[in-house]
Structure 1
Amino acid sequence: MLDHMELRIFTEPQQGATYDDLLAVARRAEETGYDAFFRSDHYLRMGSVSGQPGPTDAWTTLAGLARDTRTIRLGTLMSAATFRLPGPLAITVAQVDQMSGGRVELGIGTGWYAEEHEAYGIPFPSLGERFDRLEEQLAVITGLWRTPVGENFDFAGRYYPVTGSPALPKPVQQPGPPILLGGMGPRRTPRLAARYADEFNLPFASLADSAAQFERVRAACAAIDRDPAELMWSNALVLCCGRDDAEVARRAAAIGREPAELRENGLAGTPAEVVDTIGRYAGIGSRRLYLQVLDLADLDHLDLVATEVMPQL
């Protein structure tokens, strides 16, 4: 048995999914014991897929799931700060937290996919400015949530100045829903994580790269006298599990990938191989894995991991 490792399901609906597709996955994940259902926050497909019938909005989806599920936690990896103003985003997330009975988590990042901004008329400033804006967004969102009821919130921001806000509504979770930050940025990412994150997540990163970035974040925590043990450490990896090599190959082909490449870079192979890979991530301090499920119609994939992998964690 491994040290406890939580498994969460992570979807990429910009590749083409309806709300009902996502609901089916979220409900199966809930029924089979996964800790959470997360989705990306993107408006444009990636790669050669058609993207039909088109993207769905992340927070609209999570609002629906808040009412259509009962126990599973819900969140984003990662909402793009470029898509939304921080005041309205704080309201939206607080409302979905209320709608779900306190099951929501906010993953947020700078935004990076230039083409989706062009495709839907969203301004896309330079990377430095995007980091500046993300830092202000985090200050505004957490400030609004944490302001005591009956008091006002002010923030002298360059991009998002706030004056006399009643800072309502409040989320169910106090002082607010968990905030996830992540990525491989060497300086500003660790600093922001140390200050604002409840969880630090690395998507599709090798063991060596993950260990090195975790260490940078721990150092950034030490620099502001924060205990790194307060942070949840997590990774996201593409999932391709099969009962035997033939099933692994079939699932790899369904998502346009090669089994050997997935075994090297993802969470792939038989249940025993998957448990072994999970153990290596646990060994560098990761305590939560987001399993990127790309074939949303293959609910048996979730069942297999729930019955053959989860009991060994």
Structure 2
Amino acid sequence: MHLRIFTEPQQGATYDDILAVAQASERLGFDAFFRSDHYLAMGDEPGLPGPTDAWTTLAGLARETSRIKLGTLVSSVTYRYPGILAIQVAQVDQMSGGRAELGLGTGWFAREHEAYGIPFPEKRFGLLEEQLEIVTGLFGTAVGETYSFEGEHYRLVDSPALPKPVQAALPIIVGGSGKARTPAMAARFATEFNIPFPEIADIRPQFERVRAACEAIGRDADSMVYSVAVTTAVGADEAEFRLRAAAIGRDPEELRKSGLGGTASEAIDRIGELADLGAERLYLQVLDLSDLDHLEFIASEIAPHFS
């Protein structure tokens, strides 16, 4: 089981705040540092000092870390044209020495699009499908050859398909709870399928749908990585756990039910349960970026049980 740190900087974080968490995550042995790709805080938080762009941030982190993998969970297709996205991701992969990963989705937060003048079409699944085809097509085109694409939403003509990522097969993450189109698209394009913040009972059936979609196109279902994102607040005892839950505005019992909440022993049991349901990788959503002791606790008291 790989444990990854996943953050939501739009809720209020400077680049230096993000850097501190990323470097702590690397030092403590976590597999990856991921961040959301949003431009507006959610809920009642003002999100001061304001949003940070995901791929600009990751470019900075690429030069200020050395081992940890870096990615988005997930970038929205509404933010960037696919050709520009491919350039950005390939450049971060080069800057990091081959540590970039791309999570890509349809986007859902209409209000942030309104706030920053970003078009938000009602139907976006077709955009996602074409962007995945274009990005993987650009990455997969041999140097010296060109790539063209004609779709409903995008048209590329004789692209040099440059620059190239360092990684021969840069990891692509697709996820969600859709029962048909999402598993089918993941089977075609993704190296990893992620279920974000699921009900426990929904995990195994969704993984089984993805496995079936892989088999339907002749792909080995075991070639897909299966992952889950869970909101995380844990502590050495009940009091510390409840303090951390309060700090992020979450109900302790709801965290125990649907997230990763409680004491170390409770968290270890929950991770074991998620592994039994088919999860091979966990994204631990940590919302208080000032609480580096939280990361220390997870690394020392929980992670060693799954190394």
SS at match of 2:34: strand
**Equivalent residue number for residue 172 of structure 2:** 179
Taking the aligned partners of 1:195 and 1:208, their CA distance within structure 2 comes to: 26
**Equivalent residue number for residue 60 of structure 1:** 56
SS at match of 2:83: helix
Query: What percentage of aligned pairs have identical amino acids?
Result: 64
1:264 aligns with 2:257: yes
Scaled by the length of structure 1, what TM-score is found?
0.97
Structure 2: which amino acid aligns with 1:311?
A: P
**Equivalent residue number for residue 11 of structure 2:** 15
**Equivalent residue number for residue 241 of structure 2:** 248
SS at match of 2:179: coil
1:143 aligns with 2:137: yes
Could you tell me how far 1:210 is from its partner in structure 2? 1.2
SS at match of 1:281: helix
Residues 67-106 of structure 1 deviation map (CA, whole Å, 9 limit, x = unaligned): 0111000000000011000001000100000000000000
Residues 194-243 of structure 1 deviation map (CA, whole Å, 9 limit, x = unaligned): 00010000110022111111111111111101111000000000111100
Taking the aligned partners of 1:113 and 1:186, their CA distance within structure 2 comes to: 21
SS at match of 2:208: helix
1:29 aligns with 2:22: no
Structure 2: which amino acid aligns with 1:257?
A: R
Taking the aligned partners of 1:94 and 1:27, their CA distance within structure 2 comes to: 22
Further displaced range: 288-297 or 256-265: 256-265
1:134 aligns with 2:128: yes
Further displaced range: 7-16 or 255-264: 255-264
**Equivalent residue number for residue 195 of structure 1:** 188
1:292 aligns with 2:285: yes
**Equivalent residue number for residue 38 of structure 1:** 34
**Equivalent residue number for residue 275 of structure 2:** 282
Q: Does the Cα contact within 8 Å between 1:66 and 1:96 map onto a contact in 2?
A: yes
Taking the aligned partners of 1:243 and 1:192, their CA distance within structure 2 comes to: 41
Structure 1: which amino acid aligns with 2:215?
A: A
Q: Does the Cα contact within 8 Å between 1:11 and 1:292 map onto a contact in 2?
A: yes
Structure 1: which amino acid aligns with 2:146?
A: N
SS at match of 1:82: coil
Taking the aligned partners of 1:121 and 1:178, their CA distance within structure 2 comes to: 30
Could you tell me how far 1:116 is from its partner in structure 2? 0.7
Residues 284-309 of structure 1 deviation map (CA, whole Å, 9 limit, x = unaligned): 11010000000000000000010000
Residues 91-145 of structure 1 deviation map (CA, whole Å, 9 limit, x = unaligned): 0100000000000000000011111111111111113xx1101111011101111
Taking the aligned partners of 1:40 and 1:13, their CA distance within structure 2 comes to: 7
**Equivalent residue number for residue 107 of structure 1:** 103
Residues 169-212 of structure 1 deviation map (CA, whole Å, 9 limit, x = unaligned): 0100003x100000001121111100001000011002211111
* Unaligned ranges ≥5, structure 2: none
4+ residue runs over 3 A deviation:
none
Taking the aligned partners of 2:156 and 2:143, their CA distance within structure 1 comes to: 17
**Equivalent residue number for residue 233 of structure 1:** 226
Taking the aligned partners of 1:263 and 1:158, their CA distance within structure 2 comes to: 44
Taking the aligned partners of 2:126 and 2:183, their CA distance within structure 1 comes to: 14
**Where does 1:51-130 land on structure 2 (aligned, <5 Å)?**
51-127=47-123, 130=124
Q: Does the Cα contact within 8 Å between 1:207 and 1:280 map onto a contact in 2?
A: no
RMSD (Å) for aligned C-alpha atoms: 0.7
Further displaced range: 200-209 or 273-282: 200-209
Structure 1: which amino acid aligns with 2:39?
A: Y
Structure 2: which amino acid aligns with 1:205?
A: P
Q: Does the Cα contact within 8 Å between 1:10 and 1:290 map onto a contact in 2?
A: yes
Scaled by the length of structure 2, what TM-score is found?
0.99
